[in-house]
Amino acid sequence: MAAEAASLHVGVRIRTPYWATKEWTVDRRRLLGAAAAAGVALLPGKAMAAGGGLAARVRFYLDRALAAGAPSAVFGVIRGGRRYVAGAGQEGPAPDGKTVFQLGSIGKTLTATALARAASAGTVRLDTPLSLPSGFTVPRGKTRRITLRDLATHSSGLPTLPANLLAEADPYNPYAHYTLEDLAAGLRQTPLDKEPGSAYTYSNLGFGLLGQALAFDGVDAMLQRRVAAPMGLWDTTTALRPDMASRKAAGYMAGEAVPDWHDPVLSGAGTSIYSTVDDMLRYLDAQLHPERSPLRNAIELTQRQHFTDPATGQRLGLGWHFGALSDGRTMTWHNGGTYGFSTCAAFDRENGTAVMMMVNTYSDAARPFDMLVFSLLDELVGVVGL
């Protein structure tokens, strides 16, 4: 996440996610200060008016994203039952709600929704042990086996990545070469870092295995059939259709164009999925109002608290992370990223407000773009009559 816990970098180095050591509580002064420290400087002639309308407030954060180095950015907001989308770019036409970006680890919440749908239907239990076909040796703890709930809450004890992923990886497209045969070999070399259910360790491997447990060698089609299609997310897919390719933003790292990520095996982790802000606002609207969605029971199940890290207090649903806004209310969120794209989604269900952001550049460990999303959500929740 990605929320990117497995942020692979050129030179093939693994980073720990910036938020993995504590639960996030929004302090707007701290967030904006940190964003400024990370290079989110004010653009000439721009200033945020406390009394500005929604368009002005979103424009302020678009400017901050561009100042932080995004070639282009799109923000989407749900507030008061209405949706608002705006984009901006350094040059050329501004992107909009139909512009296609790689979504990154927000895709994990779709995999979690597929799990929740199966659990709600009674076809699996959340505490069912992870099971894969013969030849795939699942690591196990000293006291118990890994469960599907463990995978969906990053508490499986699995490391971020399988032990053999990086050996032959293309630094710019690190998952593309990996096959099911590689996964079988890698699992035999991958010990658990911690006992299942004992601690939070963000794991792309864990969510990749969750996808394979739900639909072995058919993860992408399963997510399309079980989650994206019922929710009307027609541009949320790993298969880039020609009409989507014509709307896709190019991804950049440090000003250089980079290829999209492709992942034939661990895509349940969101490593190779595409989407748009329009699609993600439909998705977030369903998170705010599950009663309107055909997947109501599954969505409700993902938003329940399923794990709390004893060391840090980090609380998790299935896929989703929980933090606190400045007034103490719960913020539900996930971010994502590849080498060419960064995304973040956050919402306050009690207030009926959600924010989605997509930019077409890599985000380093400071994740300055995420901070803009958290701050905008906090600001909108605190404003009456906007």
The pLDDT of residue 294 is 98
Per-residue model confidence as pLDDT tens digits over 215-234: 999 999 999 999 999 999 99
* Backbone CA torsion sign across 133, 139, 144, 149: negative
The pLDDT of residue 42 is 28
Q: What's the half-sphere exposure (Cβ side, CA atoms, 13 Å) at 48?
A: 17
Rounded alpha-carbon distances, angstroms, from residue 51 to 48, 58, 232: 9, 13, 35
133 phi-psi bin (left φ>0, alpha ψ -120 to 50, beta other) = beta
State yes or no: pLDDT of 88 exceeds 70.
yes
Distance CA 274, CA 244 (A): 9
Residue with the larger pLDDT of the pair 10 and 342: 342
Percentage above 70 pLDDT, the chain: 86
Percentage above 90 pLDDT, the chain: 83
- Alpha-helical segments (H) within the chain: 28-37, 54-67, 107-121, 148-152, 180-188, 204-214, 219-223, 242-245, 277-288, 296-302, 368-381
* Token duo for residue 207: 């969510």
Distance CA 257, CA 255 (A): 7
Rounded alpha-carbon distances, angstroms, from residue 238 to 7, 102, 210, 248, 270: 19, 9, 17, 13, 9
Q: Strand, coil or helix: what is 12?
A: coil
What does the mean pLDDT of the chain come to? 88
Per-residue model confidence as pLDDT tens digits over 91-138: 989 999 999 999 999 999 999 999 999 999 999 999 999 999 999 999
Per-residue model confidence as pLDDT tens digits over 44-79: 223 333 446 999 999 999 999 999 999 999 999 999
Among 119, 62, 123, 69, smallest CA distance to 94 is for 62
Question: How far out from the chain centre does Cα 167 lie?
Answer: 26
Per-residue model confidence as pLDDT tens digits over 164-220: 999 999 999 999 999 999 999 999 999 999 999 999 999 999 999 999 999 999 999
Per-residue model confidence as pLDDT tens digits over 271-325: 999 999 999 999 999 999 999 999 999 999 999 999 999 999 999 999 999 999 9
CB within 8 Å of 348: residues ≥ 6 apart: 325, 329, 330, 331, 332, 354, 377, 381
Distance CA 5, CA 361 (A): 17
The pTM assigned to this predicted structure is 0.89
CB within 8 Å of 195: residues ≥ 6 apart: 141, 142, 143, 144, 157
